[in-house]
Structure 1
Amino acid sequence: MSTPRYAIYYTPAADSALWRFGSAVLGYDAVTGAEVPALVPPGCDTDRWPDLTEEPRRYGFHATLKAPFELATGRSEGQLRAFTHNYAAGLERVELTGLSVTALGSFVALTPSTESPALQRFAFALVQAFEPFRAPLSEADMARRLKHPLTPAQRAYLEAYGYPYVGDAFRFHMTLTGSLPIEHGPSTRNALADAYAQAVPAGPAGPVAIDRIALFRQESRDSHFRLLDSFPLA
């Protein structure tokens, strides 16, 4: 029997242009759990687009704050929801100057247009606060993480928090594609940047507020993540 996994994400309001854009690019709405018509950027192959977005589509449009985890022994979904509600009520929103379409290695994502130390502090505090709810990584999950080269600091974060990209290794990003062939990376990034500027009126110059945190659930490892609830910050 599969064990559900949970994650704490940032997701914009479901009625926002940003949410509609990200969900359309991925072809999946994590609020409804339904596939949606894909927004294929001009110049990109319509037939190949579902394959290029397959990996991030499973997670829904989001920025990871607390990476997916199984519940620790003695913890329940109800306790997690209650804690998330109370934790969010004590947080102050973080203002970003904007989001830009960026190539991060082999994939494309939305990232903050300027660095935000406040966001770094916000994210690491959240990782630590939710740690009592996280079950230790299984041997299979640990082995999967160790397939990718990690620095000593990232290895230490993995062992402490079940995810290597936290603390000073954290980079806020909202993934738009999976791994792309090298020859398609720049053109796909440019096409997505154009589509983003058209779909989100303010574009990269428009401020974005981290004004809520979202609790997501994945029923089994082969299913999509769904939004359980979104909690506004104080």
Structure 2
Amino acid sequence: MRYAIYFTPPVHHPLSVAAAAWLGRNAFSGELVDAPPLRGLTVQELAYYTALPRRYGFHASLKAPFRLAEGMTEAMLLKELMLFAGAMEPFHLAPMEIVRCGDSYGLAPALPDSSMSLLAAKVVQTFDAFRAPLSEAEIERRDPDSLTAPQFANLHRWGDPHVMDEYRFQMSLTGTVGPSDGARVVQALREQFAAAACLPLEVSSIALFVEEETGSPFRVHSLHPIGRVDSRRIA
């Protein structure tokens, strides 16, 4: 079993609803979701381009998937998550927009957010003791020869090249998209997320995702509210 610490909006937030339809799966329930009708993109093309993010579920990474270190248990991880989240303060993100990251597309705030970068760094540091060291095969799968020097150092120190100063907040929505199809995919993304992306988005919890068997879809195990219990608003 592997665990990951992610940010994802609440299950009923319009962004989660739009993302579940786009990806074809609800990461909270694990249920498949019918694809929305989109101009310029067939159902088959949508399924192809979303295959990778569908497996991981709609999220922004805080701590990449990891196996538990020897001597660590799920109960210990859950307790630390509860304590950690309770010591943080919630914050709001700027409206989201469609962005390109390498050969894929996703959502990111229109303005850089230092609060999210700080939260991600604290998660990586705090929960590193729970992470089993990467195997040689796991290191090779991250293609270390393609990494920059800081990314290579991060991979060996933290198990993930894209942390600390290399961290960029993004909620992935596609796998690799070829240049010839980029414009159609972006048009479909803007159509699907036009309404939801501009709504207020509060970072009020962090999520523990689990992969129960190798290669199985990740699902939301639990949400951990951010902030002291006595200061949380009652919905």
Q: Distance in 1 between matches of 2:77 and 2:223?
A: 13
Q: Is the 8 A contact 1:103 1:185 kept in 2?
A: no
Selected match of 2:223 from 220, 225, 230: 230
Asked if residue 79 in structure 1 is aligned to residue 76 in structure 2, the reply is yes
Asked if residue 179 in structure 1 is aligned to residue 172 in structure 2, the reply is no
Q: Secondary structure at 2:56's aligned position in 1?
A: coil
Q: Secondary structure at 1:12's aligned position in 2?
A: coil
Q: Is the 8 A contact 1:10 1:213 kept in 2?
A: yes
Unaligned runs of 5+ in 1: none
Q: Distance in 2 between matches of 1:186 and 1:167?
A: 32
Q: Is the 8 A contact 1:103 1:189 kept in 2?
A: no
CA shift at 1:149, angstroms? 1.2
Q: Distance in 2 between matches of 1:90 and 1:29?
A: 29
CA shift at 1:207, angstroms? 3.0
Q: Distance in 2 between matches of 1:189 and 1:176?
A: 11
- The aligned residue for residue 232 of structure 2 is none
Number of residue equivalences: 227
Selected match of 1:221 from 200, 205, 214: 214
Asked if residue 129 in structure 1 is aligned to residue 126 in structure 2, the reply is yes
TM-score by length of 2: 0.93
Moved more, 127-136 or 187-196: 187-196
- The aligned residue for residue 230 of structure 2 is none
- The aligned residue for residue 208 of structure 1 is 201
Q: Distance in 1 between matches of 2:14 and 2:41?
A: 22
Q: CA RMSD in A?
A: 1.3
Q: Distance in 2 between matches of 1:14 and 1:79?
A: 25
- The aligned residue for residue 114 of structure 1 is 111
Unaligned runs of 5+ in 2: 228-235
Q: Distance in 1 between matches of 2:180 and 2:37?
A: 18
CA shift at 1:176, angstroms? 0.7
- The aligned residue for residue 197 of structure 1 is 194
Superposed, 1:1-234 pairs within 5 Å as: 4-39=1-36, 41-146=38-143, 149-198=146-195, 200=196, 203-204=197-198, 206-234=199-227
Moved more, 4-13 or 178-187: 178-187
CA shift at 1:68, angstroms? 0.2
Q: Is the 8 A contact 1:7 1:69 kept in 2?
A: yes
Q: Is the 8 A contact 1:25 1:40 kept in 2?
A: no
Q: Distance in 1 between matches of 2:37 and 2:128?
A: 38
Deviations 1:169-206 (A, max 9, x none): 101111111111111112211221122114x1xx33x3
Q: Secondary structure at 2:194's aligned position in 1?
A: helix
CA shift at 1:85, angstroms? 1.1
TM-score by length of 1: 0.93
Deviations 1:17-76 (A, max 9, x none): 111111111001111111111235321122221111111111011110000000000001
Q: Which runs of 4+ in 1 moved over 4 A?
A: none
- Identity score, percent: 37
Q: Secondary structure at 2:174's aligned position in 1?
A: coil
